Amino acid sequence: MVSYKDIQASNSLINDATAPRVAVFVGGTSGIGKLTIQALVATGASTRIYLVGRKGSEERTRTFIQELHTISAKAEVIWIEGEIALLAETKRICDVIKKTESRIDLLFLTAGYAPFGARKETVEGVEIAQSLEYYSRVLFILHLLPLLREAEAPRVVSVLGGGLEWASINVDDPGLKKPGSFNGMRAQVQYIAMNTVTLEQLANDNPDVTFIHSWPGWVNTGNVRRGSDPNSIMSWVVWLVLDPLIRLFSLSDDESAQRHLFQSTSAAFGGRGVSWNGKPGINSLEKQANGLFLVNYKCDCTPNAKTLSSLRKGAQEKIWNHTQEVLQQYL
């Protein structure tokens, strides 16, 4: 475990030279993304943040942005409205960013929820949580990679379940569309593994970019309540069991924010960023080198070697081909 004291010490070194000059947060309207934006702005470093979110969150997010300006005048925060569950919208949002920026230092992806209820699709025909937690995230990365490659220490952080992969995922029906394929548990397992195998593929193809798949542990953001249908058995289980457990055992908001800021900036992961004298992180290939890092809520790297070896053999190529098929019309 990287101690909280060490995390805070590392984050105290964030300054104009080491902070991401340009950062894009997708999912920063609530929860871990929002907390991490707050922590980044509170460093007082110069940074320009693109905060992407849906129309329904615009009003409260504009208030949040005003609050951020009172914390530090050196942070510029730009609101971009878009329906991020839609891939056509994701493309449009990326086009807006590409028009004004030539480099991006940090892409921080947190949109999503555990889909405990019935399968619900977007008008584009993909399950909503899968779009938020996987397809749209990958599409953001693919569109913004040319800008990330222009940065000195570019980084992509996807917050979901790094290190929690299972080998048994559905490679014949990656979108879990066939009757009987979808349920809340299978969806979680599927989306976590799809994130990891695709991020590893992207890391292999882009050796200068650092990729992190973070498992945040429990953070009391209300995320667990988002995905169940009202008055369903699952909504009662969430209300009576999961929610109280999360409230009791979750990391504090501040610690989660600082740990994600550390993951976004520290040289512990891949060697570039805020200098780090502690144990260097190992990537998903179990090497002390740049690549994909599966990082848990203690900021330990958890390569999950046996499962990943099996996913590499049986799933990585199939998932990558499927993803390209789904995304090609939005590239």
Ligand X SMILES: NC(=O)c1ccc[n+]([C@@H]2O[C@H](COP(=O)([O-])OP(=O)(O)OC[C@H]3O[C@@H](n4cnc5c(N)ncnc54)[C@H](OP(=O)(O)O)[C@@H]3O)[C@@H](O)[C@H]2O)c1
Q: Work out whether 226 is an interface residue with ligand X (CB under 6 A).
A: yes
Distance CA 145, CA 140 (A): 8
Helix, strand, coil share (%) of the chain residues, nearest 5: 45, 15, 40
Is 136 a binder of ligand X (CB under 6 A)? no
Task: Find the part of the chain contacting ligand X (CB under 6 A) among 14-22, 193-201, 218-226, 263-271.
Answer: 218-226
Tell me which stretch binds ligand X (CB under 6 A): 14-22, 24-32, 88-96, 98-106: 24-32
CB within 8 Å of 307: residues ≥ 6 apart: 165, 166, 167
Q: How far apart are CB 178 and ligand X at their closest, in Å? A: 23
**CA-atom Rg of the chain in angstroms:** 19
Note whether 47 and 40 are within 8 A (CB).
yes
Can you tell me which of 4, 79, 166, 218 binds ligand X, judged by CB under 6 A? 218
Block residue for tokens 């050796």 = 207
Asked if residue 133 binds ligand X (CB under 6 A), the reply is yes
- Ranges of H-type helices in the chain: 4-11, 31-42, 58-71, 87-100, 128-130, 136-148, 184-205, 223-226, 233-237, 243-249, 253-265, 305-314, 316-327
258 binds ligand X (CB under 6 A): no
Q: Interface with ligand X includes 122 (CB under 6 A)?
A: no
Which among 95-103, 104-112, 270-278, 285-293 is the span making contact with ligand X, rule CB under 6 A? Answer: 104-112
Interacting residue with ligand X among 8, 57, 235, 310 (CB under 6 A)? 57
Residue 209: closest CA among 305, 109, 289: 289
By CB under 6 A, residue 319 contacts ligand X: no
Interface characters, 157-196, with ligand X (x: CB under 6 A): --xxx-----------------------------------
Tokens of 195: 């994130």
115 binds ligand X (CB under 6 A): no
Are the CB atoms for 113 and 96 separated by under 8 Å?
no
Nearest approach, Cβ of 5 to ligand X (angstroms)? 23
Which of 124, 128, 105 is closest to 24 using CA atoms?
105
32: contact with ligand X by CB under 6 A: yes
Dihedral of CA atoms 118, 212, 1, 191 in degrees, nearest 10, equals 20
Q: 31-42 and 253-265 are packed helices; what angle lies between their axes, rounded to 10 degrees?
A: 70
**Residue span binding ligand X (CB under 6 A) among the ranges 143-151, 219-227, 233-241, 262-270:** 219-227
3-state SS class at 302: coil
Which residues, including other chains, have CB under 8 Å from residue 66's CB and lie 6 or more apart?
Answer: none
Nearer to ligand X, 28 or 153 (CB): 28
Judged by CB under 6 A, the number of residues near ligand X is 30
Angle, to 10 degrees, between the axis of helix 316-327 and the axis of helix 184-205?
A: 90
Q: Is 87 in the site for ligand X (CB under 6 A)?
A: no
Residue from 20, 33, 273, 303 touching ligand X (CB under 6 A): that is: 33
Q: Does 303 bind ligand X (CB under 6 A)?
A: no
Note whether 111 binds ligand X by CB under 6 A. Answer: yes
298 binds ligand X (CB under 6 A): no
25 binds ligand X per the rule CB under 6 A: no
Q: Which is nearer to ligand X, 216 or 270 (CB)?
A: 216
Q: Which of these segments, 16-24, 96-104, 213-221, 304-312, binds ligand X (CB under 6 A)?
A: 213-221
- Which residues are at the interface with ligand X (CB under 6 A)? 27, 29-33, 53-54, 56-57, 84-85, 110-114, 128, 132-133, 159-161, 216, 218-219, 221-223, 226
